[in-house]
Every structure is written in structure tokens, then in C-alpha cells.
Amino acid sequence: MTSDLSKVDLLCEKNNEAHKTKKMSTERLIIRRGQTFLLTLHSSSARSLKPDSLELTVQTGPKPSEDLGTKCVFGVSRKSLANKSWDAKVQETSATSVTLAITSPADASIGEYTLSVKTNPNMTVGHRAGAFVLLFNPWCAEDWVHLADEKERQEYVMNEHGLIFRGASDYIHELAWDFGQFEADILDICLKMLDLNPKCKKNAAEDFSARCNPIYVSRVVSAMINSNDDRGVLEGNWSNSFWDGVSPSHWNGSVDILRKWKESDYHPVKYGQCWVFGGVMCTVLRCLGIPCRVVTNFLSAHDTHGNLLIDEYYSDHGVQPKESEDSIWNYHVWVEGWMRRPDLPGKPLYDGWQVLDPTPQELSEGVHCCGPAAVKAILEGHTELKYDLPFVFAEVNADRVTWLIMADGSQKRIMTETKLVGQNISTKSVGSDKRLDITANYKYPEGTEKEREAFKEAVRRSEKLSEPEPAPAPPPPKISVKIEEQSKPINGTDIDLVIRLQSPTLRDLVLHVNAQVMLYNGVLKSDICSEEKEVRVLPDKELTVPFRIPFSKYGSHIQGNNSIKVTAVAKDKQHTEVVYLAEKNIVPENPPISITVTGDPVQFRDLQAEVRFDNPLPVALTNCSITITASGLLSKSVVSRLASLDPDLRVRVLVPFTPYRAGTKKMVADFDSDQFRDIKTSCNINIKPFLGA
């Protein structure tokens, strides 16, 4: 029997507005689970449709199953089913149409659905009414990703722009990142990511069924952002050689990366490092409806042995000659996703923010992924819980042990630091570009009784962690050694430091000062410069020893996120077995670059941006380029190239653009040359909505 339907109107624009997905599309139905949407059925004849005879079918995945929750057949009901099943009610009727209000369960699988309608029980096949995408719903109290505060929902789900903090604990720099979760194609790319994951390839029916669970989905995304085990988005590279791809520090946002992945038929994009992995994962989770924020942990430990100890080695002249399997990164970036954790005991104790780390480091259940690890469990040291708690706990709590390798090859333990690791844990504030310190979410104040209790609890509960041997109490230092800057270090200029030495008694010392290039993940590369001199420290008198790091020696090495590690080793000539050590990581600040915007900032009205950069060097900059990215303002990145920029000259790039979305938008600019790599800036532009002609 044929259908009485002539047309089904999915009311895309109206529904998408109500479901906060209008920025994604007004021509395609994109809705959030647990929330009602409307559709209108139009009759093909004068006789009216009978609501009691209507039967609707929704289904998702290649093998829809009512048993697995990926298919549901339902009629029009007269009472609420409390979000436990798909539900339809009559909203409005006319002589030739019926408008239905349909509500999905708050725990329905997310993804692409088809909808079919039978207008009478004698029909063997339903009328295909259309397709829609179902997303997680932070606005729905029954959804596991429910977030109560509207300002937080606007920040962690709806904000297309953000900040990622990098540098070092003493040099925290902000990087503007364009998430672009509402840009064209991004939703489809995110859904394709789920389809390409190995679990889906192995058993698609179970995978589509499990997409009801944000714990499962976020773990899949964590694995798919890197390409170590699958056809993931990004290939990691920490070699400092990126000739066959894009340097990680060049990216301004996620959209170019995700589109490049799609255009390459889903082969990994070259290259990413931790903040790039984190930025892309934040885009995907926000797009799918899981509240997400990017988090930076400064002085982040990578404990491969699970003993909560990070061993570092120095030679007696200050160089680090031996690489350890463990490392301390200047910083490490992961994301937090907001969700309930009913899979853990003691619920709802562990609900809320969960660590998810897409950077490939260690295996988790045989796959390079990490999390979700409940932040509240990290705080209390509950390391037996899923997922990957011991590894994340060590990232913020491990102790550092410093060893000196003597001339005869022997090793001497000279320092144990219990408060070094896990500092200034940072994320962007809600509604502003300020840095929010969330260290207290991860650990109690260092040195307090609660902090030590959590440390012991973590060891007691975990099979992967062992308590470090207690370090021998070091004798009180007889000589104080400190490294200080004489002025703010600026990339492009010489860096002047001073070594300060003090002693209560007369001391004759041999002072070695060494500067090395260090990647942000703690790996040391080239030696830059070093000095050795004999000095005499008078009793209770401070001796200052200047140390200069010329730009001519460090300039070619400071690319992307490299820093300069300066080490001072003072050896007592009277007691050759006594050695004193000080160290400092220096991140030179880049020369300034600026963006200004002219014109009335109104949606669909032409504006112009101007990017300026002055060459601060006495030599020409070669192979210059400026890349501008801005979701909501530019549909794709704009690149302007310049062969060279002579000394003391300025490059000005004018970029006309027409905003296509209202709200506060962020424009990001990146200057690149052979001499300076990836100097960035950003500006916020408040675009007023178009109100008509």
C-alpha cells in the first residue's frame, strides 16, 4: 500500500535554532538528544492524516537493532515516556498536515539517523522522511554530559575560539587556537572519525550501540586524534625536522588539519605535538556536544617505570650527557571532557572533569590513548580506577632526582625535588582570555599533610606505582648558586644572565656554565655556548658572574617551542667531591606582531584586517609568509608570501573579509621566515548580528 504523505518538513532552521546547532547548518537537521524537535507531515490527499495510525522508525548504523538500541519503532503517544524511549506527540493538526513533537532518549546513540513513517498499518515499507544527526546534549539534565551553568556551556561547547598555554612555568605564553567546530564539513569529519575507529571496523553494530556513552566516545576520539594504531588524524613528530609536512608550531587551529585529513582520504596529517593533538580533540568533542577545555600542565612528568621518580643526569661541567627513559616536559597539553562516571564506584563522586590525552605516549588497553581519568580521583590518589590514573597521577606528582656523572663515570645523587613537577596547571577562563589556574583541582598544596596522604594512597591503590625510596636528607648547602636574567629575554637579541654565588666562608670554585637547546618535551639537542672560570667567593659576600648567550649562536635553534636550558655547576676546589648545581629554562619572547580591523563589525558587512610585522634584525628576513585564520570570519586560512624583508622595514598585509557568523570571533595571524618561526598574535572582534537591510 502506498503512503499518504506528499512531503515531510523537518523544520531544520527552527529545530536547529532550538537545539543550538544553527551555526552548523540551517538546511540539515542537527539535534541534541533528550530534547524535543518538530516535524510536519503533509498529506498527499484531501483526507487528513490519522495520528493514531502513524508509525515512525528511527535507526542508525549499518546494522540497526532494537536490542542494541540503534533502532526504534514507535507511534504517537499521549503521555511522556520520561526520555527512556523515542516518543512522538501531536503538536498541531490541519486538514492536510500533522506536526509532531518527537523526543529522543537522553541516552540515545549519537550519530547519523534515518527516519521513516508509515501512515497506516497496512504499509510494508515506511515513507523515508529524511535524515538527521543526533548529538550529546549538555543542556539536558538526564544526559551524562549535562553541564548546569549556561556560561560554562557557552565556553566549553559553543565557543569556536580559545587559548592554549605554552612556554615554561616562568614564561607562560598564550596561544590563540581556532577550534572551528561549526565550520562547514567539520561535523561530517568528526562522524567519519568515529566510523574509521578500529572498534567500529571490528564490530560496527556494537560500536554504534556504544556511541550512547560519552565515556566510550571520548576514549575512541582520544585514540583517533593520533595515528599510532589507526587511520588517525595527526602524525606526531618531536624530531625538530618537518621538511615533508607542516611544523606543529605553524598551525593556528583545527579546521585546516581536519580538512587536510579528509582531503588526503583520511591519511595522517603531518605533523602534531601535544598542543595540536589537544586543540584538535577539543574541536571534535565540542562538535559532538561533549563540554571540553584544553589544559596545560607545566613541568609535566613522563614516568615510564611507574615509580614516581624522574631521573635526570648531568656531567660535572653542566651538560646533560645521558638521556633518561623518564622525562620532564616544559609543559604538556591534554583536554578535559565533562561527563558523569557511573562506571566507577562511589558515584557521583567522580563525575565532572575527566582527563583525556590524545598525544601518543603510553599504551592503554593496547592502544595509544589516555583517559577518561577523573580529575577528582587524581586529587585523592584513587589510582586503581579506570582509565590510566597512575600515568596521569605521575604527570602532576612525580619527584625529580638529579644525578651527577663524575669524570670517572660514577654517579652521585645530589638532589631530590618533591615539589617541582605539576605546576601552574592552566586553562582559559570562562568568558574571558585570562588564564585560570586549576592546579588545586589536581593536587592538594605541596608539602601539606593532605598532599602526602594522596601520594601514599596513590601508591597503595595502584599495581603500576611503587613508592620511591626515601632520599637521604641533603646537607644544608654551603654555597648558594642562582641563575637570573638581567632583562626580559627577547628572541632576536643577546640574552644576558648573571650567576649569583654566596657562601658563609671563603671558597675557591671552578664554575661551569652551559647553555643547551631543549625541546619542550625535555629532550636536549645542540650545545649553544659554555664558559668555565675559576672564581673566589668571599664570606657572606655575593659574587655575580655575567653570562651572555648571543643571538648569533641560539637564533637558528629557537624554533617552535624550543627553549634554552642553562646549567651552572660550581665545584669546590678544596673539596672536589662537593658540587653545587643550578639550572634555568629560558623561553625568549618573540618580537611583536599586530592585527587591527577597520570597518563596522556587522555580520555580512565587508571589513578589512591589517597585519604588521617589523624586522628587528640587522639582516634581511627571507622566505616570509603570514597566515591568517578566523572561524566565522574567513571560510579558509589566507596566506600571504614575501620573498624578503630588509632590516628595519615593516611588512603590511591587508586582508578583506566578510563575517558570516555573529558573536565574539578571534582572528589569529602567524608570521614565518627562515630566521623566525611561527610568531603569532590574535585579536578579538565582536561581530554584531545582521538585522536586515
Active site residues: 274, 332, 357
How far apart are alpha carbons 412 and 573 in whole angstroms?
18
| 6 phi, psi to nearest 5 deg | -105, -30
The answer to whether residues 578 and 571 touch, using CB atoms and an 8 Å cutoff, is yes
Q: What are the binding residues for Ca(2+)?
A: 397, 399, 446, 451
How far apart are alpha carbons 413 and 636 in whole angstroms?
54
Helix (H, G, I), strand (E, B) or coil at 256: helix
Alpha helices, DSSP H only, in 179-332? 186-196, 198-202, 204-210, 214-225, 255-263, 274-288
Residue 60, amino acid: T
Smallest Cα–Cα separation from 51: which of 3, 118, 111, 106? 118
Count of other CB atoms within 10 angstroms of residue 478: 14
Q: Which three cell numbers stand for residue 136?
A: 550529546
Smallest Cα–Cα separation from 289: which of 105, 85, 31, 37? 31
Smallest Cα–Cα separation from 292: which of 339, 343, 332, 333? 339
| 507 phi, psi to nearest 5 deg | -140, 135
Smallest Cα–Cα separation from 650: which of 612, 621, 606? 612
Q: What are the binding residues?
A: 397, 399, 446, 451
Distance of CA 423 to the CA centre of its chain: 17
For helices 186-196 and 274-288, the axis angle rounded to 10 degrees is 100
Smallest Cα–Cα separation from 162: which of 367, 428, 424, 422? 428
Alpha helices, DSSP H only, in 468-604? 551-554
Label residue 34 exposed, middle or buried (CB < 10 Å: 0-12, 13-18, 19+): buried
Count of other CB atoms within 10 angstroms of residue 619: 10
Give CA separation, 305 vs 10, 196, 388, 390, 430, in Å: 56, 33, 14, 11, 37
How far apart are alpha carbons 466 and 461 in whole angstroms?
10
Contacts 24+ apart (CB under 8 A), 594-601: 594/681, 595/628, 595/667, 595/669, 595/681, 595/682, 595/683, 596/683, 597/667, 597/683, 597/685, 601/659, 601/685, 601/686, 601/687, 601/688
How far apart are alpha carbons 235 and 274 in whole angstroms?
11
The answer to whether residues 212 and 109 touch, using CB atoms and an 8 Å cutoff, is yes
> Which residue, chain included where needed, has cell 588564564?
435
Smallest Cα–Cα separation from 250: which of 628, 641, 610, 640? 628
